[in-house]
């Protein structure tokens, strides 16, 4: 098997604060192969976006990587300076943000923002960069790219703007794109188009995508593998079919059960009781133990590591020797 494009090993992110240090990510490990889409799901605050930001070196101070390693294309990047990361961001890691309405600078035409990114990362003249910008707009499906290139962000609709954002993410020919909730701010009909576009670009260009979302539907449609996060930890990771059909972690199962099925009317939607613990009050042992229906003494005592199960991995005593 070839080296993965991205490999995150035992990543730990901490935020020192007045009332002690908060550990936002605790022992997160994942990898992405070439041309693969990895869906990262979890509740708000589970650490999905934080993982993406940590990989890009974009954590807001005082947040910092306190442990673990990040390897990109065979090179360790978690210890690089900000100046070195500037060369990697855009060139080796593209980014797509949640809200296309605010991701673009309103005062510059989309062309000038595209050309800026292209010329920062690729050795091109102004004219070449412009030709490439037009080409990128065409690739992401913007009609009339020759005219549209000189338009300003406010002249595009939300969906079109997200296409521009994707074009910007592709501008430096990165091997990896981190897409943080790329469809959340869009209409449902547009969501499907954007997901299909991402899938197609991934296949055509061989780009890997880390798709951060809380929408399991999007994951089911686009991702090859899925990683489920809870309270800053990875709880289950595996091929998307297996995980969605036969989730092995009680939390993943709870997530699946809480999705209403079409065409079936139910009096109550199933939900996971309780809420995710605050990051400064995570219980001992398994972080999910207060909400878990299968909880046993071992779950309160020892923290389960990510261990292989079937086609994937999970972190649950239930499938690894029992909870007693």
**Chain positions contacting another protein, by CB under 8 A:** 56, 58, 82-83, 86-91, 94-95, 97, 99, 102-109, 116-117, 120-121, 152, 154-155, 165, 168-169, 171-172
Q: Could you tell me the smallest distance in angstroms from the CB atom of residue 106 to another protein? A: 6
Q: How far apart are CA 270 and CA 32, in angstroms?
A: 32
Q: Which of 202, 219, 195, 268 is nearest to 34 (CA)?
A: 202
The residues, any chain, with a CB within 8 Å of residue 173's CB and separated by 6 or more, are 91, 121, 122
Q: Could you tell me the smallest distance in angstroms from the CB atom of residue 279 to another protein? A: 22
Nearer to another protein, 71 or 108 (CB): 108
Residue 229 pairs with which residues in a beta bridge?
A: 234
- DSSP state, 302? S
Distances (CA, A) of 177 to 88, 97, 100, 236: 12, 11, 16, 22
Q: How is residue 18 written in tokens?
A: 């007045």
Q: Could you tell me the smallest distance in angstroms from the CB atom of residue 49 to another protein? A: 11
Nearer to another protein, 198 or 235 (CB): 198
Nearer to another protein, 168 or 244 (CB): 168
Nearer to another protein, 20 or 106 (CB): 106
CB 163 within 8 A of CB 196: no
Nearer to another protein, 154 or 265 (CB): 154
Residue whose entry in the numeric block shows the structure tokens 């949640």: 98
CA atoms within 13 A on the CB side of 30: 31
Nearer to another protein, 75 or 301 (CB): 75
Q: How far apart are CA 173 and CA 276, in angstroms?
A: 38
Q: Could you tell me the smallest distance in angstroms from the CB atom of residue 301 to another protein? A: 41
Handedness of CA 236, 238, 240, 245 (dihedral sign): negative
Nearer to another protein, 169 or 216 (CB): 169
Supply the Cα-derived Rg of the chain in whole angstroms.
21
């Amino acid at each position: 098997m070839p080296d993965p494009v991205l490999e995150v090993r035992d990543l730990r992110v901490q935020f020192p604060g007045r009332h002690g240090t908060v550990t936002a990510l605790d022992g997160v490990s994942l990898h992405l192969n070439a041309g693969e889409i990895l869906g990262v799901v979890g509740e708000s605050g589970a650490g999905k976006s934080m993982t993406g930001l940590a990989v890009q070196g974009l954590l807001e101070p005082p947040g910092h990587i306190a442990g673990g390693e990040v390897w990109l294309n065979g090179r360790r990047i978690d210890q690089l300076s900000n100046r070195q990361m500037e060369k990697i961001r855009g060139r080796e890691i593209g980014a797509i943000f949640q809200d296309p309405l605010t991701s673009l600078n309103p005062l510059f035409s989309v062309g000038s923002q595209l050309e800026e990114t292209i010329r920062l990362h690729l050795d091109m003249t102004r004219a070449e960069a412009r030709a490439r910008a037009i080409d990128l707009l065409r690739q992401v499906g913007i009609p009339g790219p020759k005219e549209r290139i000189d338009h300003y962000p406010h002249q595009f609709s939300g969906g079109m703007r997200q296409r521009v954002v994707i074009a910007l993410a592709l501008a430096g020919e990165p091997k990896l794109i981190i897409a943080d909730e790329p469809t959340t701010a869009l209409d449902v009909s547009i969501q499907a188009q954007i997901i299909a576009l991402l899938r197609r670009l991934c296949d055509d260009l061989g780009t890997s995508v880390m798709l951060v979302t809380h929408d399991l539907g999007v994951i089911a449609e686009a991702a090859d593998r899925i990683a489920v996060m809870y309270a800053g930890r990875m709880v289950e990771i595996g091929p998307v079919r297996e995980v969605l059909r036969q989730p092995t972690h009680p939390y993943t199962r709870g997530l699946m059960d809480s999705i209403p099925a079409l065409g079936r009317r139910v009096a109550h939607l199933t939900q996971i009781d309780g809420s995710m613990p605050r990051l400064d009050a995570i219980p001992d042992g398994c972080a999910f133990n207060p909400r878990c229906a299968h909880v046993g003494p071992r779950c309160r005592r020892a923290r389960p590591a990510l261990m292989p199960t079937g086609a994937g991995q999970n972190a649950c005593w239930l499938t690894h020797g029992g909870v007693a």
